[in-house]
Structure 1
Amino acid sequence: MNEPTHAQPEAPQPTPTESRAHDPLAVALGNASLLGVGYLMLRRRRLAVAAAVVTVVLVSRLVSTARPAYEIAVLVWWVAVVAHGWFLASRGGSGVALRRDRVVALCVTLAVVLAVTLLRFDASSIGRSVTEARERGDCAGVLTAQDRVWFGHRVADAPLAARGDETVEACDRLRSARTELNTVLTGNTDALDEGFGTLASVLADPGNEKTVEKTLTGFLGSLPAKDPCTTVTVTEWLRDRKRSHDVLDRSAGTARRTAPAALVGCGDELMADSSWQNALAHYEQLLDRYPGDDLADKARKGARKATQSIELANVRSLLTPGGTGSQPAYCSRPAKYSGAKPMGKGTNRALFYTGNTYGQDYSDKLPGSWKATDAADAVLVVCMGEDTFGSSVRTCPYQGKSSGSTTYVTFHKIAVPVKVYEVRTGKLVAKRKIQINGSSCPSLITYFTSSDSDSGPPSTRYVTESKSNVRSAFRPLVVR
């Protein structure tokens, strides 16, 4: 009898799970963000970290240097990680790729691209603002616009941000130049070289013409300085500056416009300080360089006044007495003072100088109206030499008191050699001996004898002059 058999039910075979494939497009899109997202989808964490580090390094170098080479390097790196991600995903075999991977990768990359695009657009707008401000010569506008730049702009468009930085740097240098040039107006003329050197160096960079021109205009507009002599120094430097055939050559025109008034003003100041020679040089400089200027007449008057002041100082120096009984140097080396009055009819006031070592100064007996007090109000200079015996007047006998002998004494006029100079021209207008008359033959005369003998009085004596006698002798010299 057959026994029934029991069959075991066959265990069901496990349904094979669908293998997860990596979508090359999703991975490539993920890596296109440069954040290593594609590598994360491939579960290649080390590659993701390495990719992110390389991206950070390249971006950092790009931001710090703003060199186009790093922009190219970033682009090459972007192509490389995209291609590498595609390659790795394509080797993963067949399977089912999840649509959401593409969506995630696309969203991340689009966010990055959109951010970079917006930042580049904003950076471009800032760049235009910087350029427009620079073209207006508005350094304040340049600084305001460039202050809007932040790190994001530098990542998105490093070269453009760097160009803005260069413009700001140029404006900073122009600010330094303006400070240097402002010190010139207070007398520090050494800063002219530094200030114009800075302007020239900024101008050498293309695009800075307007900002340099505005800085130069500000400086030139501040001329003249308060001190006309400082202005003269500045205008002389600008006049002598070597032409550069650019906007800086405008300074020569300002020098021509400003120099005449500065030269006259400085000349007037030097005159007030009794620096007549320097004042004369400034007046003559105007007449030599700008003979047709409206201030030429004033300069001529100033030059004449300075010349006369120099002449007067020289005459006064020559009239300084050399010592007791000696004539001043003027009597042998006369000089002119063209500001003096010319010799004419009437009383010509004079300065009197004696060369009498032991005699008297006859000017004491002359009227005050004949005598000048200074070379500035003198018409004549009268130089008197040593007294000598002039014409005899009378001879009288005198008996010595002790000897009892008779001596005949002849009385002579006082002969005084004189030289008369006209102060205005310094020319000798008279050279002769004048003779002063006086009283003679007094009843008693005094003389000196040796102790052991009395030979009697000297046989010749001067007459005794009076004020009227002295005035009569000198009158023809000063009264015409």
Structure 2
Amino acid sequence: MTYPAYAPGPYPPQEPPEPSEPSEPSRIPAPGDPVAAALGNASLLGIGYLLLGHWRLAVFAAVGTAWLLNVVASTADTWAEILLLLWWVTATAHGWSLARGRAEHVVRRGQRAGTLALTLAVLLTAALLRVDAYGVGGRVDEAREGGDCEAAVAAQGEVWWGHRLAGAPVVGPGDAVVRACHRLDRAASTLARAARRGSADDLERGFGMLTGVLREPGNEQTVRTVLDAFLGRLPTDDSCDTAVLTGWLRDRAPSRDVLDRSADTAARTEPAALVGCGDHLMTEDAWQQARAHYQRLLDGYPHDARAGEARGGVRKATLAIELADVRQLVANASDAESGYCAKPAKYGGAPAYREGSHRALFLGDTEYSDKLPSSWRTGDPAKAALVVCADPAENGAAVETCSYENDKSAYFPHQVTFHKVRIPLKVYELRTGKRVGPRSVQIGGGSCPEVLRYEYYGTYDYGPGDQFVSTAKSDVRDAFRPVVTR
């Protein structure tokens, strides 16, 4: 079949299209060496990723390693080291896997040698630091087991950040040892202050610190060293300070640990301290406290060689207390109804009230007793066998009645009765404080003098009234002789 030819139309001819640029071929990863990548990552520095061109992964790996090392050093726990080991295995395996995933593999001997050398250097350094850390830890443990805190702290002072990165769980416990030793230093200072001052409060605080350290396992020997140093200070130069400290140690409740050793030291040193302190207190007139110290020895150590000395001390202190009490009562006696006369007390050191004559301490109205011989009287309670309390004189037995005249008085002639001088008495045996002797004495004397002088008051003179006999010293002596003589 024949087709007609078309004539060209009015349209301009079309230009042929420009040829398109050829598309860029896709990037093909460079061949990788799995062994070099694995060794590079085994260094924990992300070198394998850099060899494969993954710089972001390399930065991530380095940062992750740094973070894990910080965790290991700060926690000093085994789980952190296990986590670091898993990180190391994962990074090594991941480097191998990335390289094996490449289309082409090559053997790059230079990379292998370099990464192997770097990894071995890292691992060898870590191993050496780990071994050295074990050495440091061993010296710390040995010093602590020997009770030598100073050596333990010095050994732990050798630890540096390299040890903590490579062997934190090994050297980490040494930090606790150092902290315990610092606490023991404070305890030792507190106990030393207690020994210097005789302070039971400081002693209690020091033992509290030791108890706290003992709660942490492994510190028994270091605590023993501090305790022995304190116990070695006993007895101190001051027996009273020693008595305070040993008394606290003796009364301390057993704790079933090394601290109970203090009880033996207390038992060995307390008896001498109690006697020594009691003697010292006696010189300072602190008789109550002195007696308490002597009695503590008798109560706590009845079979001690110093028990006899303590019993003598108790007696001396008791007598001193009694004498002081009597002196105070005598000083307070203003009449026969006050002071000693109202509350008689005993003084066991007074002379015995037995057959014979005795010296007496006269209280109350002493108008007549002052006329007694000085050998019968004393003002010192320590020398008196009797205490005689005298009331004011009153009329005793009638002796004689006489008639007197007075031209100036309408009441005369006047009958005047003369009486013996009766003195009511309370006589006490000072040694026992019990009442003894006569209840009164009557003093005789002269009566009916030719001239009787008297004074009267008011307007009217009613006469002199009844009168005492006139007494002489011999009369007073005769009346009081039965009082001071048994």
TM-score category (smaller protein): 0.7 to 0.9
* C-alpha separation in 2, matches of 1:52 and 1:107: 18
User: Contact between 1:228 and 1:262, CA under 8 Å: does it hold in 2?
Assistant: yes
3-state secondary structure, aligned to 1:319: helix
Aligned twin of 1:15: none
1:107 aligns with 2:113: no
Residue in 1 aligned with 2:6?
none
Cα 1:449–1:173 change in 2 (3 A) is closer
Aligned residue for 1:409?
A: 416
Summarize the Cα distance change of 1:180–1:59 in structure 2 as closer, same or farther, 3 Å threshold.
same
**Aligned equivalents of 1:198, 1:416: Cα separation in 2:** 72
State the match for 2:445 in structure 1.
438
Count of paired positions: 456
Q: What secondary structure sits across from 1:333 in the alignment? A: coil
Residue matched to 2:222: 211
Query: Is the 2:44–2:91 Cα contact (8 Å) retained in structure 1?
Result: yes
Equivalent in 230, 255, 268 of residue 266 of structure 2: 255
Q: Does 1:130 align with 2:133?
A: no
Note if 1:53 corresponds to 2:63. yes
Residue-by-residue CA offset, 1:334-370 (whole Å, 9 max, x unaligned): 2210011112455422111234xxxx61122122222
* C-alpha distance in structure 2 between counterparts of 1:214 and 1:453, whole Å: 100
1:90/1:268 Cα in 2 relative to 1: closer, same or farther (>3 Å)?
Answer: same
Q: CA deviation at 1:465?
A: 1.1
**1:360-371 to 2 correspondence within 5 Å?**
361-371=367-377
Tell me, yes or no, if structure 1 residue 309 matches structure 2 residue 320. Answer: yes
The amino acid of 1:89's aligned partner reads A
AA matched with 1:278: Q
Give a deviation string over 1:401-460, Cα, whole Å, max 9, x none: 3259544434332222323221111122202432222233322111345666555443x3
Match of 1:148 in 2: 158
| Structure 1: distance between partners of 2:409 and 2:204 | 96
After superposition, where does 1:52-451 map in structure 2 within 5 Å?
A: 52-94=62-104, 96-185=106-195, 186-323=197-334, 325-344=335-354, 346-355=356-365, 361-403=367-409, 405-449=412-456
Superposition TM-score, scaled by structure 1 size: 0.88
Distance of 1:235 and 1:101 partners within structure 2 = 76
Contact 2:336–2:389 (CA under 8 A) maintained in structure 1: no
The superposition leaves residues 167-196 of structure 1 with CA deviations (integer Å, 9 ceiling, x where unpaired) of: 111111111222232332324433344322
Does the 8 Å CA contact 2:336/2:390 hold for their aligned counterparts?
no
SS of residue in 1 equivalent to 2:346 = coil
Deviates more, 1:278-287 or 1:120-129: 278-287
- CA RMSD, Structure 1 to Structure 2 (Å): 2.5
Inter-partner Cα distance in structure 2 for 1:78 and 1:440? 134
Cα offset for 1:164?
A: 0.9
- Residues 227-264 of structure 1 show CA distances to partners (whole Å, capped at 9, x for unaligned) of 44443343333333332211122222222223223333
After the TM superposition, which parts of structure 1 deviate over 6 Å for at least 4 consecutive aligned residues? none
Instruction: Measure, in 1, the Cα distance between the counterparts of 2:95 and 2:479.
Output: 131
Shift of 1:288: 1.2
1:226 to partner: Cα distance: 4.4
Q: Which range is displaced more, 340-349 or 128-137? A: 340-349
Quick one: which amino acid aligns to residue 374 of structure 1? Answer: D
| Equivalent residues of 2:418, 2:469 under 8 A apart | yes
DSSP 3-state at the match of 1:371: coil
State the Cα distance separating 1:295 from its structure 2 match. Answer: 1.9
1:291, distance to aligned residue in structure 2 (A): 0.4
Whether the 8 Å contact between 1:354 and 1:361 is mirrored in structure 2 is: no
Q: Is the 8 A contact 2:419 2:468 kept in 1?
A: yes
Percent identical:
51
Amino acid at match of 1:92: R
In structure 2, the residue corresponding to 1:368 is in which secondary structure?
A: coil
Q: Which amino acid aligns with 1:467?
A: K
C-alpha contact (below 8 Å) 2:333/2:363 kept by paired residues: no
Q: Which amino acid aligns with 1:112?
A: V
Structure-2 separation of matches of 1:365 and 1:68: 103
* Structure 1: segments with no counterpart, 5+ residues: 1-18
Amino acid at match of 1:475: R
TM-score by length of 2: 0.87
Name the SS of the counterpart of 1:372 in structure 2: coil
TM-superposition CA deviations, 1:203-240 (whole Å, max 9, x none): 12221111111112122222334444443343333333
- How has the CA–CA distance of structure 1 residues 433 and 241 changed in structure 2, closer, same or farther, with 3 Å as cutoff? closer
Partner of 1:475 in structure 2? 481
**Structure 1: distance between partners of 2:389 and 2:261:** 61
* Cα distance in 2 between the residues matched to 1:203 and 1:408: 101
Residue 313 of structure 1 deviates from its aligned partner by: 2.3
Q: Relative to structure 1, is the Cα distance of residues 116 and 401 closer, same or farther in structure 2, using a 3 angstrom cutoff?
A: same
* Residue 267 of structure 1: how far off its partner (Å): 2.9
